[in-house]
Amino acid sequence: MAEIDTAWLTAVDRIVAAHADQPGALLPILHAVQKELGFIPPEVVGRIAEGLNLSRADVHGVISFYHYFRTHRPGKHVVQLCRAEACQAWQGQATEAHAKQCLGVDYHGTTADGDFTLEAVYCLGNCAAGPSAMIDDKLYGRVTPERLEQLLAQHRRQS
Amino acid sequence: MSVRVHVSRDAAALALGAEETAAALLRAAAAAGESIELVRTGSRGMVWLEPLVEVTVGNERIGYGPVQAHEVEALVREGLLKGGAHPKRLGVVDKLPYLASQQRLTFSRVGLIDPLDVDQYQQHEGYAGLTRALSLSGADIVKQVTDSGLRGRGGAAFPTGIKWKTVLDQQAEQKYIVCNADEGDSGTFSDRMLMEGDPFCLIEGMTIAGLAVGATQGYIYLRVEYPHAEIALRAAIATARQRGMLGRNVLGSGRSFELDVRMGAGAYICGEETSLLESLEGKRAEVRFRPPLPAIKGLFGRPTVINNVITFASLPIILARGAEFYRDYGMGRSRGTLPFQLAGNIRHGGLVERAFGLTLRELLYDYGGGSASGRPIRAVQVGGPLGAYVPESQFDTPLDYEAFTGIGALVGHGGIVAFDDTVDMARMARYAMEFCAAESCGKCTPCRIGSTRGVEVIDRIIAGQQREANLALLTDLCDTMQYGSLCGLGGMTPFPVVSAMKHFPEDFSRKG
Ligand SMILES: Cc1cc2nc3c(=O)[nH]c(=O)nc-3n(C[C@H](O)[C@H](O)[C@H](O)COP(=O)(O)O)c2cc1C
Ligand code: SF4
Ligand code: FES
């Protein structure tokens, strides 16, 4: 654990140094940390705060405000399902229900094998070809329950 | 001679397999000993035809679609590269009625050109608007914008010229131009399509704004759900800098304008302009009290123009062709065009840019082709999650800001989400409250607490508990939210709820 912490802190110091001179640097820094570490470990919050001359509570307050930032390590793949109106209007609920059943988790949950984290998202801008899903950084349209199952199987093989 | 083939790189096309189709085309052409030049474009906006393959024959582009990767080899064998006959052949793409009947001013290049090729952009009227703006004073640019009748396309429809005039009139060392690219409304994707399909148009529009009001720094606040748009914008900004269209000496004028992209983090409220500014400053994105207006004290306390992507993207053509040209489109006080977006349970979903004034029915049936399920369209939500549900009896309302306000609805950012007769409107009303509760910034009680109460009350109505009393309670609650909230999230969530109750009362009195 101690070793990992050191690696985290080194990464965070580098990221903070690279961004600190831009105005409003906190969000870009949090994005960069999450991109590199997969999440924002609570252990690094103090270090970010120090780097920007903020209080730990300030940084924590920002992280908790935004749905996108996570403070726990996610599964190997993050599956985001669109819950918004246009996808609901076209088969989205069936896909949502099926995803929860296949993975055995609810939103924000990670499967026991650590392969998948399921997240809800409100519109992916793919509303003319719903239901929409994003798995890691890749967007998928017309994700019916059957198609979702194929995609999950495909990603399970990869991991 | 090699054959030029176009395949979209738009996120919606990729979501339907365009990348695989493009790769299969290269393989199949090589195998057939044919040489092709593959151009990746934005999307034409006919999403049900994606992946769409367009083959250049003479001066025309012949479309085939939708074409999945596994169909490519056979298509090439059967003469796709010569524009040959095939059940998937659509004909000349520009002549398809869906496109030919549109009035594409803002989207004139999207789907046609390589979005990252600034030379193609210039060959298609790109930078003509900025060139003209450079010959005008700031006040004259603002006057052009005012005279064009352009109103903000982000939802509130505030006259853009008036907002700019306020910023122009401020004395300040630093002013900012901020683009609202948070596009959080369900059923909308025009900002995304424009940023991916014609990013230089947005860059040019923001630069014009900078010249007009005397601002030298711009930010694009982009939602994190749009990774493809981020890539396109960053690449286009780098090219524009390299080619002297951004930076210290814009088009050799000696004027300066810089531009950066900042990513949001999955909060719908960041689309509200003051929340967005807080977020850009690196804070919790709580909505600000007004006054002061952002035009007077905006980003980092400086005078700031904040506009939607489509608002900025409408400026190059307004400057290039003149205010009157643009103002001649539209009806009443809704001037120009709006890129409408057809979504949800609709056969021909996609983007339709038309002058204001056509009816909802024309969009749903002439363009949309009715529901995808083949069942009757029962309800349509216009203008995103804060927009009203419109019943069939109001489908003949013209799309015009005032006409929609007149029926208690809104045009908003032009998203149109169709539902067929299997929809349960009590459940959609519940969802509206649930969404508001999930996305509330927490600053005011009617929104934060009211939305959670709203979910509970609707649950009781659905369960058949003391229906009369709970319906009255819900009406009161909506009233409190509408008149007691600081911003539109709490203030407009009542629109979908009240319209659902009003137009579809039977869904609130079903036997449990
Ligand atoms: C809850 C809420 C969400 C909003 N979301 C967006 C959005 O995603 N994109 C946008 O351009 N405007 C959005 N707006 C409107 C903005 O507050 C603001 O009016 C707009 O950015 C001004 O630009 P315009 O005049 O060009 O439309 C939202 C407003 C509210 C109240
Ligand atoms: S209405 Fe809701 S989102 Fe708007 S300021 Fe109040 S609590 Fe925040
Ligand atoms: S509503 Fe699901 S992608 Fe827009």
Mean pLDDT of B199-221: 98
pLDDT of B510: 83
B482 and B379 inside one domain: no
pLDDT of B437: 98
Spacing, Cα B432 to ligand 2 middle (Å):
14
Is the predicted pLDDT of residue A2 greater than 70, yes or no? no
B113 lies in a domain?
Answer: no
> Considering chain A, what percentage of its residues have pLDDT values greater than 90?
93
B144 and B198 inside one domain: yes
pLDDT digits (tens, 9 = 90+) for B298-329: 999 999 999 999 999 999 999 999 999 999 99
B110 lies in a domain?
Answer: no
pLDDT of B278: 98
Alpha carbons B333 and B318: distance in angstroms, whole number: 17
B81 and B125 inside one domain: no
| First and final C-alpha spacing in chain B | 69
Close Cβ partners of B201 (under 8 Å, ≥ 6 residues apart): B106, B109, B121, B126, B194, B313, B316
B91 and B39 inside one domain: yes
B95 and B145 inside one domain: no
Is the predicted pLDDT of residue B511 greater than 90, yes or no? no
Please tell me which residue, B145 or A2, carries the higher pLDDT value.
B145
pLDDT of A140: 98
User: What's the gap between Cα A158 and its chain centre?
Assistant: 19
What CATH number should be reported for the domain holding residue B458? Answer: 1.20.1440.230
Mean pLDDT of B416-439: 98
Query: What is the residue whose two structure tokens read 């759900």?
Result: B225
Query: What is the residue whose two structure tokens read 């392969």?
Result: A115
B233 and B308 inside one domain: yes
pLDDT of A3: 63
Which of B272, B386, B443 has most ligand 1 atoms within 8 Å of CB, for mutation?
B272
Q: How confident is the model at residue A5 (pLDDT cuts 50, 70, 90)?
A: confident
Q: How many domains does the structure of chain B reveal?
A: 4
B288 lies in a domain?
Answer: yes
B106 lies in a domain?
Answer: no
The DSSP secondary structure of B72-127, one letter per residue, reads: HHHHHHTTGGGT---TTEEEEGGGSHHHHT---STTSSTTTS-TT-HHHHHHTTTT
pLDDT digits (tens, 9 = 90+) for B16-28: 999 999 999 999 9
B107 lies in a domain?
Answer: no
What CATH number should be reported for the domain holding residue B354? Answer: 3.10.20.600
Q: A6-65 — its CATH code?
A: 1.10.10
B10 and B52 inside one domain: yes
B465 and B495 inside one domain: yes
pLDDT of A158: 77
pLDDT of B38: 98
Is the predicted pLDDT of residue B479 greater than 90, yes or no? yes
Instruction: Enumerate the residues of chain B whose CB falls inside 8 A of the CB of residue A85.
Output: 186-187, 344, 381, 385, 417, 428, 431
Strands B53-57 and B3-8 come out as: antiparallel
Looking at domain A77-158, its CATH superfamily turns out to be Glutaredoxin (3.40.30.10)
The pTM (predicted TM-score) of the whole model is 0.98
B111 lies in a domain?
Answer: no
Nearest to B381 among A85, A122, A128 (CB): A85
What CATH number should be reported for the domain holding residue B168? Answer: 3.40.50.11540
B393 and B491 inside one domain: no
pLDDT of B1: 75
Three-class secondary structure of residue B233 per DSSP: helix
B243 and B378 inside one domain: no
Domain with CATH 1.10.10 in chain A: 6-65
Domain that holds residue B442: 425-508
Domain with CATH 3.40.30.10 in chain A: 77-158
Mean pLDDT for chain B overall: 97
Mean pLDDT of B213-225: 98
Would an 8 Å CB–CB cutoff place B188 in contact with chain A?
Answer: yes
B180 and B266 inside one domain: yes
Mean pLDDT of B201-224: 98
B132 lies in a domain?
Answer: yes
Mean pLDDT of B244-252: 98
pLDDT digits (tens, 9 = 90+) for B50-101: 999 999 999 999 999 999 999 999 999 999 999 999 999 999 999 999 999 9
Instruction: Enumerate the residues of chain A whose CB falls inside 8 A of the CB of residue B381.
Output: 85
| C-alpha distance from B343 to closest chain A C-alpha (Å) | 4
pLDDT of A157: 82
Is the predicted pLDDT of residue B512 greater than 60, yes or no? no
B123 lies in a domain?
Answer: yes
* Assembly ipTM: 0.97
Q: Which of B71, B100, B129 is the last residue of a domain?
A: B100
Three-class secondary structure of residue B174 per DSSP: coil
Is the predicted pLDDT of residue A1 greater than 70, yes or no? no
What count of other Cβ atoms lies within 10 Å of the Cβ of residue B122?
15
> Considering chain B, what percentage of its residues have pLDDT values greater than 70?
100
Q: Which of B290, B308, B326 is the last residue of a domain?
A: B326
As for ligand 1, residues whose beta carbon falls within 6 Å of it are: B 152-156, 158, 180, 182-184, 269, 271-273, 306-308, 311, 487-489
Three-class secondary structure of residue B487 per DSSP: coil
B149 and B209 inside one domain: yes
Whether B230 contacts B202, CB under 8 Å: no
The DSSP secondary structure of B375-434, one letter per residue, reads: SPEEEEEESSTTSPEEEGGGTT-BS-HHHHHHTT---TT-EEEEEETT--HHHHHHHHHH
pLDDT of A143: 98
